[in-house]
Structure 1
């Protein structure tokens, strides 16, 4: 029988950029803090490990790159993690020790097909110390496309838990209606949206998703300042004229009818706590179930290619 209630925590913070050890330590600290206050599901922001390089150009202009920018990117690569890998083992042990579910945005090194592509990913850990799954961002936004590759349909991940099904999309891929539909079709009850968007309009997005999907939305953002950037980057001067606060936050928790359970947190680090009543998910779908009685499969259909994509495929002869 499903638990009808779950205590959750949404972390708003930022580690020192390009330093995965500091990020791991901060994840440990915040996870222990949240678990100590009864959280059973703990969510961290987009690419929290090793950080979101807001404002950096990596020396890239249309038609040219620089040696210094390549070195900054190498540093970003070196601070990324493999999934699975040594860092995920540490995080899995943390989840097991505290008996919690943990969802973290990471920069993932591709080790399967190449050693030259990074991905913006979400990874999921369970209380038994298991890496439960991952999702790779389908379309990096704007200049992010120079940093991260495109995910595919094989990681549109939704995970069954004792309190409902959890899954989500990253930042602006939540503006992709068909991607959202693919998540709804897997019965997501708690929809997780790690983000780097601190604008007011993001709040409209997460409230719409909650109301459209009739699901809880946990939105986790960074609170980042210039002090989290190493000053010896080749392109540190890219942020010289920016305000000291590079991301003001805006993490929030929304219920299945689009109302705030916890209103947005701005201008500071913190952890948002809430108790989610899963019966409200069922009740909210009484008059609207986007992939159920309110769908029209005779008129609209979505085809999802959930196969892993590879540039090289081996063909075996008979």
Structure 2
């Protein structure tokens, strides 16, 4: 029997502040690693923020100057994939000898479009893979671009096969199947959805994919937003708790191992019995004997091969 200890970090970043959020990330990773975590997951858009409550000055047919100033602040604190922030995240993983998966806002190489991205780092500090959200939801489409099949990444490690999807991508059946098809065992689902219905989705995915599911959200209050943000007055009618969390860890039978955690920052831990993966597939294997390839055909355009990495 192999046991893997995992952690999901429910916290807020230093909103709209790249460098301070990197400092907070280092503290939280160290705390989880000292308690034995081998894989640590952070929420969607942890660096530099999930900009909940803002319109960025958009209505159909026009954008305001103040809204563009807010977007500029967001862009300036996004992650440059060739920047020192990638080195910093790698060093955090290496210093603590952990696999680190963290949601960031990624700045495109040409300096324009932003992407909502999940980054994977190895215990040696290497950036193993990244996944760009395929379909931003609703108003997210104003500020983020769309990813493609080339970033539907999975990684074979000594802990198990890592992979996952971001927030409402998890409602896309074919996106989930792309993970199942490549044998995902540790399914990561960073999110900004704090509704209780999200728990049902996570339990369904664990049961459907016969995989461990780690879902991680932020806990954010209105008072955490910097007072000098452009268009901050937009938040005046928002509740004090902007995101109440709901992070959770679930086994391949859909049973909750830790959480859900509500209305506070915290770190959830669970010891995963990897034998449960194999036992659970005796009666249902979504990419195996239940796939019925004689009836259905499934393909993903430009999907990368599973990366092999032994930490």
The TM-score normalised by the length of structure 1 is: 0.94
The question of whether the paired residues in 1 share the 8 Å contact of 2:152 and 2:303 is answered with no
Counterpart secondary structure, 1:202 = helix
Counterpart secondary structure, 2:150 = helix
Work out whether 1:299 is the aligned partner of 2:295. Answer: yes
Q: Distance in 2 between matches of 1:82 and 1:184?
A: 30
Q: Which residue among 132, 149, 154 is the counterpart of 1:158?
A: 154
Q: Which residue among 127, 148, 151 is the counterpart of 1:131?
A: 127
Give 1:313's aligned residue: none
Work out whether 1:30 is the aligned partner of 2:28. Answer: yes
Gaps of 5+ in 1: 309-318
The question of whether the paired residues in 2 share the 8 Å contact of 1:16 and 1:23 is answered with yes
Work out whether 1:115 is the aligned partner of 2:105. Answer: no
- Cα offset for 1:35? 0.3
Give 1:179's aligned residue: 175
Counterpart secondary structure, 1:211 = helix
The question of whether the paired residues in 2 share the 8 Å contact of 1:169 and 1:193 is answered with yes
Counterpart secondary structure, 1:248 = strand
Give 1:251's aligned residue: 247
- Cα offset for 1:267? 0.5
Give 1:275's aligned residue: 271
- State the Cα RMSD in Å: 1.1
Q: Distance in 2 between matches of 1:200 and 1:173?
A: 17
Q: Deviations over 1:139-175 (max 9, x none)?
A: 0000000110000000001111102101100000000
Q: Distance in 2 between matches of 1:298 and 1:84?
A: 45
The question of whether the paired residues in 2 share the 8 Å contact of 1:167 and 1:192 is answered with yes
Q: Deviations over 1:240-277 (max 9, x none)?
A: 11111100000000000101001200000000011011
Give 2:58's aligned residue: 60
Q: 1:155-234 to 2 correspondence within 5 Å?
A: 155-234=151-230
- Cα offset for 1:83? 2.0
The question of whether the paired residues in 2 share the 8 Å contact of 1:15 and 1:228 is answered with no
Counterpart secondary structure, 2:269 = strand
- Cα offset for 1:16? 2.2
- Cα offset for 1:97? 1.1
In the comparison of the two structures, how many residue pairs are matched? 304
Counterpart secondary structure, 1:102 = strand
The question of whether the paired residues in 2 share the 8 Å contact of 1:46 and 1:105 is answered with yes
Larger deviation, residues 174-183 vs 92-101? 92-101
Q: Which residue among 277, 281, 284 is the counterpart of 1:285?
A: 281
Q: 1:75-86 to 2 correspondence within 5 Å?
A: 75-86=73-84
Q: Distance in 2 between matches of 1:271 and 1:177?
A: 29
4+ residue runs over 6 A deviation: none
Q: 1:142-153 to 2 correspondence within 5 Å?
A: 142-153=138-149
Q: Distance in 2 between matches of 1:192 and 1:77?
A: 25
Q: Distance in 2 between matches of 1:82 and 1:199?
A: 31
The 3 A distance-change label for structure 1 pair 133 and 84 is: farther
Counterpart secondary structure, 1:184 = helix
- Cα offset for 1:219? 0.3
Counterpart secondary structure, 1:265 = strand
- Cα offset for 1:118? 0.3
Work out whether 1:261 is the aligned partner of 2:257. Answer: yes
Counterpart secondary structure, 2:40 = strand
Counterpart secondary structure, 1:242 = coil
